Structure 1
Amino acid sequence: MAEKIVSVIIPVYNIREYVGDCIKSALNQTYKDIEIILVDDGATDGSGAICDEYAKEDPRVKVIHKENGGLMSAWSTGVKEAEGRYALFIDGDDWIDERMVEELLKYASPDRDFKEIVSSNYIIEKKNEKRKEAHGAAPGVYEGEKLAELRTRLLGEERRPVIMSRCMKLISRQLILDNLRYLEYSIRMAEDVNIMLPCLLDADRLTILEDCYFYHYRTIGDSMSHGFNRKLLDNIKLDYDTFLGIMQDKAVANGKEQMDREYVRLLFVVMKNALRASDENVVKLVKDIFGQGDIAELVKTTPVSVSEKSNQLIYYGMKHPVTPVIIMIKMILSAFDKVTAG
């Protein structure tokens, strides 16, 4: 097979209802000279068989069947098997516009040794809502000093300058291969940061397109937690150690400062999860986490900016984990959940 410029990599696991739309969106690209790698991560609902049917119909499609290993294992397997100069990821329940590959390639370097990332924006697709999401940084080309400045604030910001999803982007495949050694397969929160952080720190150039909402992110089901997930804290600590290690290895001068702020922001998720718990002594739970020890000290000594009113309330509770404050915030959060659910 002649060398392909773009390898479209689609992890597939138990998404029978949606995977056909995803694959079709890749097959229907106006730029045709691509390879499409479907990684069946041990699906048990027939999704893998659907992948095989598409492979029979189009020679550009290759299917890899593997034991279940999680999302990170699936997409990294696809990268290793791919042949394209660039990787473009689509999660199997999402889809892309038909001109996405063609439009992103217009901004790619002709130099095959050049390591770069070209990114569009995306649309969140809910059952009754569509919402556009864009990078925090202004559209444009980032290289040299401009890219170096961006690297000082990749993490720890209220609105990240670069959306850290591996999707919606053309990424030089060699850039990914060079950084697979940083993958921590136990991570279950902020997984994509694990690969996008080192890639952004190594890239020769980052291009952020204006508008270009080519990627459609489908949200499925009720993600609201009704019990405290005790693994959250362990996973956030694993994120911290893993990402800080990457920052230090890449000699990011303010890496620890970024990661301390990022840790505090990730703790917002823990606080919300604890306050929504219906099967716990919530007051005791919040006090145990935020009332003393390393977490309390970090929240106290690492201020972060918060503009969203709901998060301001959560942040106040993290900084003042006393009984009346916890009860008040839980009541407000419960009322908000009832309104939005109805």
Structure 2
Amino acid sequence: MPEKLVSVIIPVYNIKEYFKDCIESVINQTYRDIEIILVDDGASDGSEVMCDDYAAKDERIRVIHKKNGGLVSAWSAGVKEATGHYVMFIDGDDWVDTDMVESLLEFAKPNEGVTEIISSNYIIEKKNEKRKASNGMPVGTYSGAELREVRTKLLGEENRPVIMSRCMKLITRDLILNNMKYLNYDIRMAEDVNIMLPCLLDVDRLVIHDGFFYHYRTIGTSMAHGYDERLLDNIRQDYDTFSGIMKDKGVSNGKEQMDREYVRLLFFVMKNLLRADIPGVTGRVREIFDTEPIRGIIKNTPVTVSEKSNKLLYFGMKHPIAPVVLLIKMIIRSFDRVTAGAFL
């Protein structure tokens, strides 16, 4: 297949109910000269058949059928098979506006020999709610000294300067390929940071776009949206993996960024526990948050918290005694019934 300018990579795993919205939004892009790579990650609900059906109708589509290996395994398989100068990732249960590729390409410079990330914003699509989420940095183009400054605060901030998802972006394919050596395939939370962190530390040119083209569908099955006893272990893996990347890339304040990031990730652990119907929750909270090294990291790494519910969680993390934990649990469960559980 001749090289294209943009390869759109869509991991597909048991999302038959949502897949049509996704693929139709891609095949109807106003910029037509794209290749579309569907990575069937061992689907068994009929979405794997839909992949082949769409490929039979559109010559731009290629399908990779593979054994189930998880999301990182799926998208990375797509990158290895892609021919585009840029890659764009869209998860199979999400969808995009039909002018997304064309709009982001307006800011690309494929002939200048530099690596690029062109990042837009996104819309969180819940069953009864829509909410916009934006990059924390002002719209514009960053390189040189400005980009080096951005790299000192990629992680650990209350509002990330750059959205760390691999989606809603155009990314130079070689930038991804050159950093896939850092992938930890066991990570199941913040796995996109695993690839975007090294890419952002290497990229020559970063463009922050003001568009909201990407629609992120929340369906309540990710680790961040339901109780999972593996969450703390995954966060520890995040800390070790991302710290290693920071060290390898020579980030001068890498440890400070990672300690703050660890504290912020622990918010998910606290929230995860307090929302769950599990016995002995107060003892489990104390076991985690009143034990080293977590107790010391929380004490010695202050973070800024402005959102009211997160202030409650933070107070509980710093004071993990039964009366405090039970009161916060009651408040959060009550708040969840009103807001359908949107905290972090």
Secondary structure of the corresponding residue to residue 59 of structure 2: coil
Measured in 2, the distance between the counterparts of 1:199 and 1:226 equals: 27
Pairing of 1:129-278 with structure 2 (within 5 A): 129-210=129-210, 212-221=211-220, 229-278=228-277
C-alpha change, 1:188 and 1:240, in structure 2 (3 Å) is same
Q: Quick one: distance in 1 between partners of 2:63 and 2:100?
A: 22
CA–CA separation in structure 1 for the residues paired with 2:89 and 2:110: 21
Would you say 1:30 and 2:42 are equivalent positions? no
> What's the counterpart of residue 303 of structure 1?
302
Percent identity at matched positions?
67
Contact 2:118/2:170, CA 8 A, preserved across alignment:
yes
* TM-superposition CA deviations, 1:196-219 (whole Å, max 9, x none): 000000000100012x10111111
2:80 alignment partner, SS class: helix
Contact 2:2 2:83 in 1 (8 A): no
**TM-score (normalizing by structure 1):** 0.97
Asked if the contact 2:10–2:38 (Cα under 8 Å) also holds between the matched residues in 1, the reply is yes
Is the contact between residue 220 and residue 226 of structure 2 (CA under 8 Å) also seen in structure 1?
A: no
Structure 1 position 113, deviation (Å):
2.9
Distance 1:69 1:341, change over 3 A: same
TM-score, length-scaled by structure 2: 0.96
Query: What displacement does 1:292 show?
Result: 2.4
Contact 1:124 1:130 in 2 (8 A): yes
Higher mean displacement: 109-118 or 191-200 = 109-118
- For 1:59 and 1:233, locate their aligned partners in 2 and report how far apart those are by CA, in whole Å: 44
Aligned length, in residue pairs: 341
Cα distance in 2 for partners of 1:50, 1:127 equals 24
The root-mean-square deviation of aligned C-alpha atoms, in Å, is: 1.6
Unaligned runs of 5+ in 2: none
Once residues 227 and 84 of structure 2 are traced to their aligned partners in structure 1, the CA distance between those partners, rounded to angstroms, is 43
Deviations 1:289-321 (A, max 9, x none): 111211001100000000001000110110111
**What is the letter of the counterpart of residue 50 of structure 1?**
M
Maintained 8 Å contact 1:226/1:277: no
- Which whole-Å CA distance do the structure 2 matches of 1:117 and 1:280 have between them? 46
Question: Residue 70 of structure 2 corresponds to which residue in structure 1?
Answer: 70
Shift in Å, 1:112: 5.8
Further displaced range: 25-34 or 318-327: 318-327
- The 1:29/1:226 distance shift into structure 2, 3 A limit, reads closer
Aligned amino acid, residue 324 of structure 2 = V
CA distance in 2, matches of 1:78, 1:341: 35
Partner Cα separation in structure 2 for residue 319 and residue 23 of structure 1: 46
Matched-pair contact (CA < 8 Å) for 1:124–1:219: yes
CA–CA distance in structure 2, aligned partners of residues 49 and 220 of structure 1: 22
Distance 1:224 1:242, change over 3 A: closer
Aligned-pair CA distance for 1:277: 2.5
- Give the secondary structure class of the aligned counterpart of 1:192: helix
Who is 2:335 aligned against? 336
Distance 1:224 1:335, change over 3 A: farther
CA distance in 1, matches of 2:226, 2:57: 45
- C-alpha displacement at 1:225, in angstroms? 8.7
Mark the runs of 5 or more structure 1 residues left unpaired by the alignment. none
Q: Deviations over 1:61-104 (max 9, x none)?
A: 00000000000000000000000000000000111111111111
**C-alpha distance in 1, partners of 2:327/2:91?**
39
Supply the AA of the counterpart residue of 1:337. Answer: D
Match of 2:51 in 1: 51
Does the aligned pair in 2 maintain the 1:227–1:279 contact within 8 Å?
no
Q: Quick one: structure 1 residues 56 and 242, their matched pair in 2 at CA, closer, same or farther if it must change by over 3 Å?
A: same
Q: Tell whether the 8 Å contact from 1:168 to 1:215 is kept in structure 2 after alignment.
A: yes
For the residues of structure 2 that align with 1:229 and 1:222, how far apart are their CA atoms? 10
Asked if the contact 2:153/2:161 (under 8 Å) is kept, the reply is: yes
Aligned partner of 1:42 in structure 2 is 42
Answer yes or no: is the 8 Å Cα contact 2:223–2:231 preserved in 1. no
What one-letter code is carried by the residue in structure 2 that aligns with 1:179? Answer: N
